[in-house]
Amino acid sequence: MSPTLHLGDMVIVAEVSPSAIREGDIIDFRQGGTSVIHRVIDIEETGGSRQFITKGDANDNADVAPVSSDRVKGKVVFNVPKVGWVALVLRSG
């Protein structure tokens, strides 16, 4: 998500209703067993449900599959630069 977020940054994610997510928001969502943080670049509404088209800021193209609202953990509301390095160092031993 560079240049907005960097390795070692800690983000605060707030649980929000899918209807509160807008284009330009950065969301945290599940992709398989992994947590992904990408920006919403478009929103599709089909049959009363929302799907989010996402893209990492450093990526040239949008993500292949839309993100269904049930996979969204929340919206990034705050970023603390570099504080996550402590956890990364401790994890690596």
Tell me what pLDDT residue 93 has: 65
**58-82: pLDDT as tens digits:** 999 999 999 999 999 999 999 888 7
Low-confidence stretches of the chain (pLDDT beneath 50)? none
Q: What is the pLDDT of residue 57?
A: 94
**Which residue pairs from 6-9 have beta carbons closer than 8 angstroms and sit at least 24 positions apart in sequence?**
6/81, 6/82, 7/84, 7/88, 8/81, 8/82, 8/83, 8/84, 8/85, 8/88, 9/79, 9/80, 9/81, 9/82, 9/83, 9/84
Each domain of the chain, given as residue ranges in start order, spans 10-92
Q: Give residue 24's identity as a one-letter amino acid code.
A: G
pTM of the model: 0.86
Instruction: Please give the class, per CATH, of domain 10-92.
Output: mainly beta
